[in-house]
Structure formats: structure tokens, C-alpha cells
Amino acid sequence: MHPAPTICPICGESLAITRLHCPACDTAIEGRFFAGRLARLSNAQLEFVEIFLLCEGKLKAVEERLGISYPTVRARLREVIAAMGYEPAESDESAPLSEAERRRLLDDLAEGRISLEEALSALRGR
């Protein structure tokens, strides 16, 4: 099975689930159904959430498992939170990155493991 699309390819608005079907007994149920906030996430965001859960929410473990920098893990987590319709918490990490963290972030960018947008966001502390 393919994942259900959540965005209309014509206008870009959210799609509504209006029919459910049981392939075993061929029963169909029609109405308006809510898929939940996780249905708003892209495939890449869902993969990140799965890894986050497997790592029991430990950002350092996510960093190691994905091979990306800690600031990138935080940036991706904030993206997931926003995509689910929540307001990400204000970062209390306003201290500048250490030289080692900054170097690793730039190395991740140079190797293509993160995008320019993610690097700039992490460098700005967002």
C-alpha cells in the first residue's frame, strides 16, 4: 500500500478522509475522519519521528544514528513540531556554538548531509 496523500495536488489544501474500506470483508464506511497530526508530516519527517522514538527521545542518540550534528537534530525536531501544528518551544540554547560544533556543522554542510537552510538555522541558534 502507498501512504495516503494529505495535501491536494491541485490547490495545496489539506485533504479530508471521507471513506474507509476493509479489504477482508469489503465493508466501507463513509463520513469525515480525522487522521491525526502525524498525518501532516512528510515521509522524511515521519522517518525522523520513528528514529526519535527508537532512540527514546535522546537527541544525542538520534545524532549518532543519523550521522548528523546535534544542531541539525534539534532543527529537524522543531520542523516536525511546527508541521504538526504546534509552536516549537523557545530555545534556551542562546549560547553560541563551540568551535567543534561549528566545524562539524560546516563539515555536514560540505558533505551534503544537511542543507544550507539547516546549517544557517543551526548557526543562528534556531
Instruction: Kindly state whether residue 22 falls inside one of the protein's structural domains.
Output: no
Number of structural domains, the chain? 1
What value does the mean pLDDT take over residues 97-119?
85
Instruction: Kindly state whether residue 82 falls inside one of the protein's structural domains.
Output: yes
Q: Give the amino acid at 108.
A: D
As a whole-number percent, the residues of the chain with pLDDT over 70 amount to 93
Find the angle CA(77)-CA(82)-CA(11) to the nearest 5 degrees.
130
What is the chain's length?
126
Instruction: Kindly state whether residue 48 falls inside one of the protein's structural domains.
Output: yes
pLDDT higher than 60, residue 28 = yes
User: Helix, strand or coil for residue 86?
Assistant: coil
pLDDT band, very low/low/confident/very high, at 108 (cuts 50, 70, 90): confident
Q: Give the amino acid at 40.
A: R
Instruction: Kindly state whether residue 28 falls inside one of the protein's structural domains.
Output: no
Tell me the pLDDT tens digit for each residue of 60-86. 999 999 999 888 999 999 999 998 988
Q: How high is the pLDDT of residue 58? A: 94
Instruction: Kindly state whether residue 73 falls inside one of the protein's structural domains.
Output: yes
Q: Which domain holds residue 59?
A: 39-123
Strand partners, 17: 33
Instruction: Kindly state whether residue 63 falls inside one of the protein's structural domains.
Output: yes
User: b/e for 58-71, b at 16 or more Cβ within 10 A?
Assistant: eeeebbeebebbbb
